Structure 1
């Protein structure tokens, strides 16, 4: 059977598993062929299907995310290594990078901090935009930290991105870190019993990167109050939020002495808060 015929069958098989069955099938097939998706669609439709495709499809049929199966995910035009130890970068999180670019305009942040860096996606995407900037990504998971360090090296940014252990639940975690012109973070914010969480996310992605207590706010309560001490003059924080958390996280930020500006993603869902220190 040809690649084209197999893609049609695979997409039909994935309809009850994935919200994007055709895309998933194409990504898996491109990986099996050792080429890019566009190249596969343009040049390989009549080729024989590699034997490795079937086990890849079986994994997706069982619910495993495509990014984990093929081992990488694109974010802001960059390719990031992905393992089960890290949260898979989502397109919606690119909203934080867009908001940072808009906020800085013609300026560039000198130092950037990424709290809970995971794959390193936020920090490394920001550094790709501002080639003169440097940054630190902190991560409490040793396995995730190793992935971030590998991604920094693979993207040629290891000399500008210091990926290091850090845990905002530990006393003194901010010591000797600041100041920063830009702080980025996509912390855990899922409610422990959130009924809307996709089954493949709950089953395959690291719970320590997802869950933040019964109301999803535990990490905001610990992280946000530290921001004023980490910000340089005129610095900003951009932090991701859940779609129903804008009001509650904004209240935490304002109680800490931060101004709040809500940012929406491309689907017009509340996605991030831009914070500034009003005590400057």
Structure 2
């Protein structure tokens, strides 16, 4: 039976609702847009446009995958973040709006034509560093990740955004091999889920995102114990740092960065009013 855009959307929404998917309306629309090569405006202004049999079959396949709790970002191979569109797969975390808090902070602390050196530790898809560099053309960035597969995704995104001349992407273990006091800004979204909590996560995360990017050790704080002193080591005097945290980890992570020598260490909340980013500075040089 021939389907049009509005009927296909309605049917997909119902299937996802019946399957217990949390966001059936948005997910159905995104899958339909991709399957039918349609835009949101097309669905509203031309709702009776018919799908080809191939488009209908593609949409059915997408919906089946979503019902198996595969993330929409993996089904489509892309995810919007801040003002950019990123390629993603199961080798990187799907970028989330919570992480945009870091981007917003850095952009507010810098000016459009300011030149600075930015370091992103655990760069993943490149979401943070590329979103910043896209709006700061005079800045340069280095992204480091231990995963070669993640770096391949970041390199694809850098190329797609025409940022190859601003960013270098290297395989490494956090700050290993980096010189002291070399960066004006350091950012990171490290693994921060406690090991025994991973099995309690939603299937979209537990079964489809890399454990390497999730597992923060027994209490979720292992990466911060490494990062706090190392970030302060590679920051220039007066430099800014910002790290994403789990919403219950603010006091512990603040204490680690304060003990490492961070100044004005505090926590920024996300749009859901949860603690999300610990930030601070390195003591400036005496004048």
Give the alignment's TM-score, normalised by structure 2. Answer: 0.91
Give the one of 36, 39, 42 matched to 2:41.
39
**Aligned-residue CA RMSD (Å):** 1.8
Please tell me whether residue 102 in structure 1 is matched to residue 105 in structure 2.
Answer: no
Superposition deviation, residue 43 in structure 1? 4.3
Cα offsets for 1:168-201 (capped at 9, x unmatched) = 2xxx704347511111110000111226522210
Contact 2:5-2:43 at 8 Å conserved across structures? no
Tell me the residue number matched to 1:219: 223
Cα pair 1:174 1:226 within 8 Å, conserved: no
Equivalent residue for 1:156? 162
Give the total of aligned pairs.
276
Greater CA drift, 58-67 or 159-168: 159-168
Mapped pair 1:250 → 2:254:
yes
State whether residues 237 and 275 of structure 1, in contact with CA within 8 Å, keep that contact through their aligned partners in structure 2: yes
Change (3 A) 1:163 1:132: same
State the secondary structure of the residue aligned to 2:201. coil
Q: Greater Rg, structure 1 or structure 2?
A: 2
CA distance in 1, matches of 2:209, 2:135: 28
Q: Please point out which of 49, 70, 81 is paired with 1:75.
A: 81
Deviation at 1:278, TM superposition (A): 3.2
Contact 1:99 1:263 in 2 (8 A): no
Give the TM-score taking structure 1 as reference length. Answer: 0.93
Query: Could you say what secondary structure the match of 1:129 adopts?
Result: coil
Q: For the residues of structure 1 that align with 2:246 and 2:42, how far apart are their CA atoms?
A: 36
Local SS of the residue matching 1:46? coil
Spell out the pairing of 1:163-202 with structure 2 (5 A cutoff): 163-168=169-174, 173-176=176-179, 179-194=182-197, 197-202=201-206
Residue aligning to 2:270: 265
Q: Do the aligned residues in 1 keep the contact of 2:184 with 2:239 (CA within 8 Å)?
A: yes
